[in-house]
Amino acid sequence: MYLAMHSVHPESAPVPTPAAATLLDRDHSILAFNERVLDWARRPDVPLVERLKYLCIVSSNLDEFFEVRAAPHITAMQSGDQKGLYTVDSFEALAVAAHALVAQQYVLYNDELMPAFARENIRIVAHGERDEAQRRWVLSHFEREVRPLLVPVGLDPAHPFPQVANKSLNFIVRLSGRDAFGRENDIAIVKVPRVLPRLIRMPDRVSGGQTLFVSLSSVIRAHLDLLFPGRQVGEFSQFRVTRHSDLAVDEDEVKNLRTALRLGLQHRHYGQAVRLEVSAGCSEHLSDFLLKQFNLPAPALYRVHGPVNLARLIQLSDLLDVPQLRFAPYQGCYPRALVPGQSFFDRLKQGDVLIHQPFESFEGVLAFLREAVNDPDVLAIKQTIYRTGTDSEMMVLLREAVRRGKEVTVVVELKARFDEEANINWAEMLESIGAQVLYGVVGLKTHAKMLLITRREGKRLVRYAHLSTGNYNPRTAKLYTDLSHLTADTQLTQDVEQVFLHLASQSKLPKLHHLLVAPFQLHRKMIEKIDALCVAGAGCEDGRIVAKMNALTDEALIAALISAGQRGVKIDLIVRGACMLPAQVPGLTDNIRVRSVIGRFLEHSRVFYFRCGKEEELFLSSADWMNRNMLRRVELAWPVTDPALRQRVVDECLVAYLHDGCDAWDLGGDGRYRRIDAVRAAKGTQRQAHSVQNALMARYAARSGAQDE
């Protein structure tokens, strides 16, 4: 079965060249993605605790956005730049969009989510709402658990403004009266330790049959006067500063990358300030003082009507035992192509296996490695590690493999953003017990996901491989959609071996059979495959491209897609996040449709499909279509050559997503995304909504039941 084509608008003007296309702004596209995530927090059909989680996810995403993307805009504003990619205008436009998104978050938090929790007798109780018994309990908690950890700092020439860590909670206080030495220093700072929980549940004896919480900021705010005996507390505000946190290490200048990164981690919390959050009621005197301290322009100030860190409210979901307010639990079934207890090596001799996570369990991948570790005939294990987490069974298995005398080679990407420390710790542990630990290639991130097992079978050495679109992280494997590919294909496993040898020796890659590798030929090959459909022209009337990825920002790939669309190729792009290609622009990109699907699980799989006539190719990949993935990372793409497996990927990862009528958003010619069910309702064509993720969960749950029988 081939992919169904979408309708094409007739051309209303001469076809312009791709150079005439004005690309969408990447940073604004990232913010638009977060607006789509925030929509899940608005949806009444989503359980209440899950709605709060989506609100927290947006806050966490915005933190990372500012930490990684904001510094050049801030610098341009401070320098008064009027030309180039980053200018005063670009900063101001981005600030307007970011402020609007933050305002939406707090309106949703205050006007919808907190009242909805209150209807369930779950409340975060402010100081003014507490009765006398509750105030006594909060005071006791403050004196016992909080006050001993606070060190208020009165500012004067001997006590300069303290170092404030990235994203930490702090208070600024304006005092009247004189200090112990008779001076009128009126500003003090209170830094709040990260070890303190941001939400505290009140005991039943003072909760009156409800589930009540107090926020740490509220506890401190109510007792600020106790921190400054003999002074009067006047104006005050909680505040939080976000800092640029992208580690920059000149790999050509360092002798030991691991040591350099560990040193860099010590300074990450104190990088350039890029955003300041304060309470909505913060006086201009205090906010101006803080802006000056952090050298920030006024638009970098965010006045919020609530806690300055909504992301930390995720703790509320951990503290609540209310199954009716959560998604029904979902456990992916054991991969359908595998039989528990059957040897993976025997099974892979019969053909390749695909695992569609999280609908099928990551346990299949762990079981593959577990068998390899325990099999005395397995001689060597090679694996890449990008994000595996701090508590990983996979790393424990690799350690056991070393203990059993197997040759273990691990390529650990130390520069995986915000996972650097965990990866450094794993690298040091494996090195200490004798594993061969590599850090990839200087100047490149190793983002490829591959595992290679070498086994002695009689007089031969036989290879088995696992390739994946996602990380070797059992926790995120339950939350992200990804595809795992297990194979004993001689040519494909030989290719994987060559990539490992390249990463170890940095010798030139030989010609490979199936794998496409960035930064060498992956970018060029993808463009060639797009261009090939253009060349086919009228000889390929049903030329078709469908690509599913997390982001599309590479300008050369975008230009190739626009050219192909202008020559009649029908193109569907399923892009979860940032997309710079302007779809459905009359006379320019009529043949290109861009869709974003935001669901219960984070869409993470990368699938690239090309068809001309009856000839079709389908690739899985670790890479998004971004310049950094194509040219500054080690990435893989590989074909699915088995017709049955290829059709399964087409059905489950492409066709189903193009027909989602519940969680999908389509990008319009005006550069805006609209939820597909809202569009259909406006057109009067609303029908039973179809959620692709719900359908896949139901399909695999049914198979799990059949397996249990």
What are the tens digits of pLDDT across the range 503-513? 888 888 999 99
Active site residue 514: no
Average pLDDT over residues 318-341: 94
Say what the pLDDT of residue 477 is: 92
List the single range of 11-25, 328-342, 467-481, 536-550 with lowest mean pLDDT: 11-25
- pLDDT (average), residues 5-23: 46
* pLDDT for the residue 364: 95
Q: Cα separation of 467 and 470, whole Å?
A: 9
Cα–Cα distance between 74 and 61 in angstroms, integer? 19
Residues of the chain with CATH 3.30.870.10: 344-513, 518-708
Was domain 344-513 assigned CATH 3.30.870.10? yes
Answer for the pair 503, 438: CB distance below 8 angstroms, yes or no. Answer: yes
At 43 the pLDDT is 96
Q: Please write the tens of the pLDDT for every residue from 266-279.
A: 555 678 999 999 99
| Spatial separation of the C-alpha atoms in residues 51 and 326, rounded to whole Å | 9
Catalytic entry in 223, 356, 447, 485: 447
Burial class (CB in 10 A: 0-12, 13-18, 19+), 157: exposed
Architecture (CATH level 2) of domain 48-325: 2-Layer Sandwich (3.30)
Q: Pick one of 3.30.365.10, 3.30.870.10, 3.40.30.10, 3.30.360.10 as the CATH number of 518-708.
A: 3.30.870.10
3-state class of 554 per DSSP? coil
| pTM confidence score | 0.90
Residue 435 has pLDDT above 90, yes or no: no
pLDDT at 263 over 70: no
| Minimum mean pLDDT range among 415-419, 576-580, 608-612 | 415-419
Residue 572: per-residue pLDDT:
98
Confidence of residue 705 (pLDDT cuts 50, 70, 90): low
Chain region(s) in the chain for CATH 3.30.1840.10: 48-325
Residue 541: per-residue pLDDT: 67
Mean pLDDT of the residues in the chain? 88
When mean pLDDT is compared across 42-46, 245-249, 394-398, the lowest value belongs to: 245-249
The pLDDT of residue 182? 59
* pLDDT greater than 70 at residue 181: no
At 332, the amino acid letter reads G
pLDDT digit string, tens, across residues 92-129: 999 999 999 999 999 999 999 999 999 999 999 999 99
Q: Which residues pair with 303 in a beta bridge?
A: 278
472 pLDDT more than 90: no
Q: What is the pLDDT of residue 236?
A: 95
% of the chain residues with pLDDT over 70: 86
pLDDT band at 422 (very low <50, low <70, confident <90, very high): low
Tokens of 227: 């921190």
For 154, other C-beta atoms within 10 Å of its C-beta total 18
For the chain, the C-alpha Rg in angstroms (whole number) is: 28
Q: What is the DSSP letter of 113?
A: I
List the structure tokens of 53: 């989680």
